[in-house]
Amino acid sequence: MNQIRQITAWLRLRDPGLAATRRAARNALVMPSLFALCTQVFHAPAVGTFAAFGAFAMLLLVDFTGPMAQRLRAHAALTGAWLVLVALGTLAAQSVWTATAATVVVGFAVLFSGVVSSVLAGATTSLLLAFILPVSAPAPLAQLPDRLIGVVLAGVTSMIAVWLLWPRTQDDPLSAPAAQVCRAAARQLRTDADYFAGRADGPAFGECRACVLQTMSSAQDLQRAFTATPYRPTGLSTGSRALVRLVDELTWLSAVLAPASSLDEPGPTGGLQSSAVRRAAAEVLDASAEMLDDPGAAQDRLHAAAQELREALTALEDGAVNRLPTPDNQAGGGLDVDTFINSLDVSFRAQEVAFVVLQIAGNVDIARAADQRSWSDRLLGREPGSPTGALTSAWERAAAHVEPHSVWLHNSIRGAIGLGIGVALADATGVQHGFWVMLGTLSVLRSNALNTGQSVFRAVGGTLAGSVLGAVLLQLIGHDTIALWILLPVAVMAAGIVPAAISFAAGQAAFTLTLVILFSIAQPAGLSVILIRIEDIALGCAVSVVVGLFFWPRGASAALAKTLAEAYVDSARYLLSAVSYAVSCCTFGPAALEIPQEARQAAAAARRLDDAFRTYLAERGAKAIPMGEMTTLVTGVVGLRLAADAVLELWRRPAGGEPLEDRAAAQRELLIMAERIFQWYERLAGGMESDGPVPRPLVSDRRNNSRLIEAVRRDLHDADGRATRTGVRIIWTGDHLEAVRRLQSSIAAAADDADARVAVTGSA
C-alpha cells in the first residue's frame, strides 16, 4: 500500500492532475482490445491497423477541454476529419508526386490551422497522423473501405472511453491561484482605502505593509503555477487565453498596488473618492474570485460590482476637478508643480488600479462566457460577444500570423516541407515501410522549439533504446504471441506516461517498443525488422535536421527575443497613437474619432508573443534566459498595452462638454512625452533583436512636466480659474506616460541580465 501511495505521489509530481496517466490508461485498455478484435476475431489486418492507430491518436495525442458535451462533439469532429484525411492520403499515395505535394499542402494546413482555436491546436498531431499513416503506406483503393471502418471503430470507441473511463475534471490549474490573488488584492485595497481616508480607527502602517506583501506573495504563487510545468497549463481556447491574460494582469496589478499602497506613503493623505474607488475595486475582485472558484456562478454580482466601480470612477474625476488647486489659492499667485502633482497623485493611482481591475473582471467574464459558446464558435475560436462572425474571427486570428516573424508560421512551413521531403525520400530510397521514415520526421518536427538538433539526438537515442529493448524481448519470448499480447497494453501504458513523467527520449523508447510489439503481432519478422526500423527512423530524423537547419534555425530563445522586440515596438506605437487620440479628443471629442488601428496591431503582436512564449516554455532542456527575467520582459509588454488601453478608456468617456480655448501647448507637451517614451522602447527592441546594448532608463523630465502643468493651468481652466475635466485627464494621461517610463528600470535590468546570460551560454 505504501508503495502504491509513493508511486501515485511521484506521478502527481511529474504529471500534474494525472492528465497523461489518464490518457495512457484509457489507451492501454482500448487500443489492444480493438487491435485484437479486428485481427484475431474478424481477421481484418487493415481494419485493425487503422483502428489501433486511430485509437492511439484520439485517446493519447488529444485531450480536449470543456464540458463533456463539448468534448464528445470535438471527438466526433476529429473522427470525421480522420475519415477525410485517410481518404485523401489513400488517394494521394497512388503516385509519389501527388503524395509529396499533398503532404506539403495538408501538412501546412493542419499545422497552421492550430492558430485558430484550441480544438484545432489540440488535434494537430492526431490529424497529421491521420494523413501520414495512409500516404506512407500505399495500398489499392479497394482497401479504403477497410481503413475507414477502422477509423469509425476507433472514433466510436474513443468517445465511449472519454465519456465513461476516468472522465476528466473541468478544473483549470490557474483558476484557484488566480482567485487567491484576487482576494489578497481585495483585502489590500480595503485596507488602503481605510488608511488613505485617515480614519481614527483605521489600520496601522504595519497592517498595510503586511497586505502588500501578501498580495505580492500570491502573485508569485500564480506565476509559479503558470510556469511550473514544461507546457503552459492552459490551452489555446478563448477561455484559456483569457485566463492567460488574467495571469499577466494580476501580476501587473500586484506591481501597481505596491507603489499605489501605503507602503510608500508617509501617512494618510485623505481623499474620500479615491477610497470609494478602492472599495468598489475590492468588490469587483471578490466577485471575480467567486467566478473563478465556481464556473457555474451567476455573473450578476460581477456585472453589478463593475458598474459600481465605473460610477465611483466618475465621482473620482469630479472630485479631482473640484480639489485641484488654482493660482488664486497659492502663495504669491503661482502654481507650484509639486503641489499640483500631489493633488492628483492619489486619485490617479486609484484610477490606475480601477482600470486594471476592470480589465481583470472583463477577462474573468470572458473566460466563463466562453464555456457557453456554440460548437461552431468554439471550433473557429470566436470570442464571446465578438461583433464579427465565426469565420471572420478565424480569418483575423490566422491573418495575425501571416507575417515573416511568426513562430507559428515558421513551424507550419518547416513541418510541411519536412514531411513532404520524408515522403519523397522514402520512395526514392525504396524503404519497405515509408511510415517509419515519416514517424522519424514527425518525432523531431513536433518539437515546436525549433531546437531540432537536441530533439534528433533524443529521438534517435530513444528509438535505439526502445529497439534494443524490443530485440531483447523478442529474443526471450521468441514467437510467443500470447506473451506479446500481454506486453502490448503495458507498453501502451508506458508510452503514454513516460514522456510526461520522465523525458522525451524515454517516451520515444516506450513508443518504439509499442510499435515493435504491435508489428511483431501483425507481421512476425524477428530481429531483422528492428534494424530496418532503426534505419528508417534515423532517415526521417535526418530529414527533420536538414529542414530545421534550413528554415529559421534560431532556437526558441532567439525566436522569442525577436517576437518580444516586435511586441514592444507595436505596443509602444499603440501608446503613442492612444496619446494622439487623446490630443485629438481635446479638439474634436471622442464621438468624432475612431479607435486607432495600432490597437489591433498591438493585439496581434501580443498574440504572437503569447505563442512564442508558449514555445519557449515547451522547449526541452535548460533555458538560456531564466524565467524570472523572461516573465519581467513579457509583463513589460502587458504594462505598455494596459497603459495605452487606459488612456483610450479615459478619453472615450464624455468630458462634460466644457468650452475650451487654446489647447495647443498642452497637446504638444503630451506628444513630446509620448514620442520620447516610444523612441526608448524602439531602441530597446533594436537591442533585443540585434543583441545590441540596452538603453539606459529615461529620467523624469521635470521641465516637460512643468510645461505641461503650466499649459493646463493657462489653457484648460474655466472662467472662474478652476480646472476642467479635460485638464484633469491631460494630467492623468501624463501620469500614465510617467508610469510607463518608471517601468523601464525593471525592463532594462531584466534585458541586461538576459543578454549577459545569453552571451555566456552562446545559445542565442
- The answer on pLDDT for 71 being more than 60 is yes
DSSP string, 309-368: HHHHHHHHHHHHHHHS--GGGSGGG---HHHHHHHHHHHHHHHHHHHHHHHHHHHHHHHH
pLDDT of res. 742:
82
pLDDT of res. 616:
66
pLDDT of res. 154:
94
Q: Distance (Å, rounded) from C-alpha 508 to C-alpha 496?
A: 10
The set of cell numbers assigned to 638 is: 502587458
Q: Distance (Å, rounded) from C-alpha 634 to C-alpha 639?
A: 9
**pLDDT digits 0-9 by tens, 715-726:** 555 555 555 677
Q: Can you say how many angstroms the Cα of residue 337 is from the centroid of all Cα atoms in its chain?
A: 43
The set of cell numbers assigned to 687 is: 537591442
600: phi then psi, degrees, rounded to nearest 5: -70, -40
- The answer on pLDDT for 763 being more than 50 is no
Q: Distance (Å, rounded) from C-alpha 505 to C-alpha 460?
A: 8
pLDDT of res. 712:
65
pLDDT-based confidence at residue 620 (cuts at 50, 70, 90): very low
Q: Taking Cα atoms as reference points, which of 15, 4, 31, 20 lies closest to residue 517?
A: 31
Q: Distance (Å, rounded) from C-alpha 586 to C-alpha 593?
A: 11
pLDDT of res. 660:
46
pLDDT of res. 234:
40
Residue pair 578/571 in contact (Cβ under 8 Å)? The answer is no
| Start-to-end Cα distance in the chain | 49
**pLDDT digits 0-9 by tens, 207-254:** 777 888 898 899 888 887 776 544 443 444 566 667 767 887 888 788
**pLDDT digits 0-9 by tens, 685-700:** 888 877 778 888 888 7
- The answer on pLDDT for 130 being more than 80 is yes
89: phi then psi, degrees, rounded to nearest 5: -65, -40
654: phi then psi, degrees, rounded to nearest 5: -60, 140
Indicate the SS3 state at residue 719.
coil
Q: Distance (Å, rounded) from C-alpha 166 to C-alpha 709?
A: 65
Residue pair 475/426 in contact (Cβ under 8 Å)? The answer is no
Torsion (CA) 612, 613, 617, 621 in degrees, nearest 10: 60
pLDDT of res. 222:
86
pLDDT of res. 238:
60
pLDDT-based confidence at residue 372 (cuts at 50, 70, 90): low
Q: Taking Cα atoms as reference points, which of 236, 43, 63 lies closest to residue 161?
A: 63
Indicate the SS3 state at residue 759.
helix
Mean pLDDT over 529-541 rounds to 58
Residue type, 186: A
pLDDT of res. 532:
57
Indicate the SS3 state at residue 388.
coil
CA gyration radius for the chain? 30
pLDDT of res. 98:
94
Least confident of 61-70, 277-286, 341-350, 585-594: 585-594
**pLDDT digits 0-9 by tens, 480-523:** 777 878 888 888 888 878 876 777 677 777 777 777 777 677 66
Q: Taking Cα atoms as reference points, which of 432, 299, 457, 406 lies closest to residue 363?
A: 299
pLDDT-based confidence at residue 324 (cuts at 50, 70, 90): low
Buried-state track 648-677, b at ≥16 Cβ within 10 A, e below 16 = bebbeeebeeeebeebebbbebbeebbeeb
Residue pair 518/488 in contact (Cβ under 8 Å)? The answer is yes
Q: How far is CA 32 from CA 23, 430, 466, 551, in A?
A: 14, 30, 19, 39
Least confident of 136-150, 387-401, 653-667: 653-667
What percent of the chain is modeled with pLDDT above 90? 15
The set of cell numbers assigned to 403 is: 507575417
DSSP string, 529-578: HHHHHHHHHHHHHHHHHHHHHHS-TTHHHHHHHHHHHHHHHHHHHHHHHH
HSE on the CB side for 505, CA within 13 Å?
12
pLDDT of res. 721:
54
Q: Distance (Å, rounded) from C-alpha 696 to C-alpha 745?
A: 8
The set of cell numbers assigned to 750 is: 531584466
The set of cell numbers assigned to 13 is: 509530481
Q: Which CATH number fits domain 555-761: 1.10.10, 3.40.1400, 1.20.58, 3.30.70?
A: 1.20.58
The set of cell numbers assigned to 223 is: 506565476
> Which range is most confident: 144-153, 344-353, 593-602?
144-153
Least confident of 17-31, 579-593, 742-756: 579-593
